[in-house]
Amino acid sequence: MKVDLYGLFIDFLIRNKKINKKNKIDIEDVDNILMMSNTAIGDTVFNTPAFRSLKQFYPNKKLIVLLNPTNYKLFETNKYIDEIVTYDGRWRNFFNALRILKTKKIDLTFILHSNEPQATPLAVLSGSKYIIKIPNDKNKYNNYHTNLPTKEMEDKHGIFDRLKQLEYININDNNPTTELYLKHEWNDVIDNDFSKNNIVKKNDILIGFQIGASTVSRMWFEERWIELANVLLNKNDKIKIILTGAPNEKKLTSQIVNKVNSDRIFDYAGKFCLEEAACLIDKLDLLITPDTGPMHIAAALKVPTIGFFIAAKWYGSNPCHDTDIHLYIQKNTTCSPCIGKRCKYQECMWQITVDDVAKKMKELNRGII
């Protein structure tokens, strides 16, 4: 049995700390507010409505956001964030993050999306007077949260759990619109690449394929992507296919490019940094994608998407704003019990066909096919 020595030590440090339970927090008692959002790209995008809402209601309060060092640059341009502190959520960097946060004189912490067992102890030890987290009914540290144990909202997008936290400071905002702000210099990198390689011509239609995902259970099969590429390229000679993705997805995208064998398919997986990759997505007319970070980047940039859902439910993650341009394909699981993220052969994904995707593209009514 593996013993979490770090966890035991932290539990010892916070054992006598007290947090008062409250239904409402007096905003006059608060100057510096911390929002924790230091996990994956998509989850941080989901938190942008909370950043916006807080600063629109209380522009004079300082908003400090805890972000992951792998993706924080994408959010540096967010006009609602006053200051960023980075932390990867692991024990080895815990005390460095704590040292920085203690200098910020945090009055109120919203744990929007951050990993335990680090998140709550970090907020407690930083000196935060109030700590809000929803959901927290199954959280071992919920006695340190200002709010009572609260379940997640059923059948609703995770964004609404984040916005619900703001009710403790009298903000009742149900606007789930996500947003990103891109720099001109990031965009220039993409424009220069497209110009150099003569990729985009007048009236071209750029269809993005996001092949990879955080887990195999969410991924469509290579054969389906190849079939879809061939159908689209044969259907409309203005269509060009742009493969997006991270560096570790290059093997997947290279195989598809080689097997499609067309001068109208371009492999951009891993070619740009995250901020520039967001600008690449911004150029697309449509992104076809599993439930993963690029989908949420596209939604924040108002780029139409078609998302694939089986193990997860569409209402928990598919964009819940601009729903006329963010379509989804939902199928039922085929294995019982479904092991979700632990799945190594996603047989259920065979249910999603090229014809299903084509029908959704027609629903978008954008003249693509």
133 and 229 part of one domain: no
Judge whether 25 and 137 are in contact, CB under 8 Å.
no
HSE toward the beta carbon, residue 182, CA cutoff 13 A: 23
The pLDDT of residue 212 = 92
- What range defines the domain where residue 191 resides? 185-364
**Tens digit of pLDDT for each residue in 23-44?**
999 999 999 999 999 999 999 9
DSSP state at residue 352: S
The confidence band for 361, taking pLDDT boundaries of 50, 70 and 90, is very high
Distance, in Å, from the CA atom of 173 to the CA atom of 142, rounded to the nearest integer, reads 24
192 and 101 part of one domain: no
310 and 360 part of one domain: yes
Q: What Cα–Cα distance (Å) separates residue 113 from each residue in 162, 230, 276? A: 8, 40, 24
**Tens digit of pLDDT for each residue in 265-279?**
999 999 999 999 999
Q: Please name the residues in contact with 335: beta carbons below 8 A apart, sequence gap of 6 or more.
A: 343, 347, 348
- Report the chain's mean pLDDT, rounded to a whole number: 94
Give the chain's domain count. 2
Does residue 176 sit within a domain?
A: no
Q: Residue 280 pLDDT more than 80? A: yes
12 and 156 part of one domain: yes
The pLDDT of residue 258 = 95
Distance, in Å, from the CA atom of 259 to the CA atom of 8, rounded to the nearest integer, reads 52
268 and 127 part of one domain: no
196 and 163 part of one domain: no
What mean pLDDT do residues 181-203 have?
91
The pLDDT of residue 1 = 58
- C-alpha 265 chain-centroid distance: 26
Judge whether 48 and 300 are in contact, CB under 8 Å.
yes
220 and 288 part of one domain: yes
Judge whether 311 and 218 are in contact, CB under 8 Å.
yes
The confidence band for 365, taking pLDDT boundaries of 50, 70 and 90, is confident
Q: What percent of the chain is predicted at pLDDT more than 90?
A: 85
Distance, in Å, from the CA atom of 241 to the CA atom of 234, rounded to the nearest integer, reads 12
Angle (deg, nearest 10), helices 274-282 and 293-300: 60
Does residue 122 sit within a domain?
A: yes
Name the domain boundary from 141, 169, 197.
169
What mean pLDDT do residues 10-24 have?
89
The pLDDT of residue 341 = 85
Q: Residue 3 pLDDT more than 70? A: no
The pLDDT of residue 113 = 97
Name the domain boundary from 169, 197, 231.
169
Name the domain boundary from 140, 169, 198.
169
**Tens digit of pLDDT for each residue in 310-327?**
988 999 999 999 999 999
Tell me the CATH number at 326.
3.40.50.2000
**Tens digit of pLDDT for each residue in 227-264?**
999 999 999 999 999 999 999 999 999 999 999 989 99
164 and 193 part of one domain: no
Distance, in Å, from the CA atom of 62 to the CA atom of 68, rounded to the nearest integer, reads 20
71 and 207 part of one domain: no
The pLDDT of residue 155 = 87
The pLDDT of residue 366 = 74
214 and 322 part of one domain: yes
Distance, in Å, from the CA atom of 316 to the CA atom of 314, rounded to the nearest integer, reads 5
121 and 195 part of one domain: no
Does residue 226 sit within a domain?
A: yes
HSE toward the beta carbon, residue 178, CA cutoff 13 A: 31
**Tens digit of pLDDT for each residue in 32-90?**
999 999 999 999 999 999 999 999 999 999 999 999 999 999 999 999 999 999 999 99
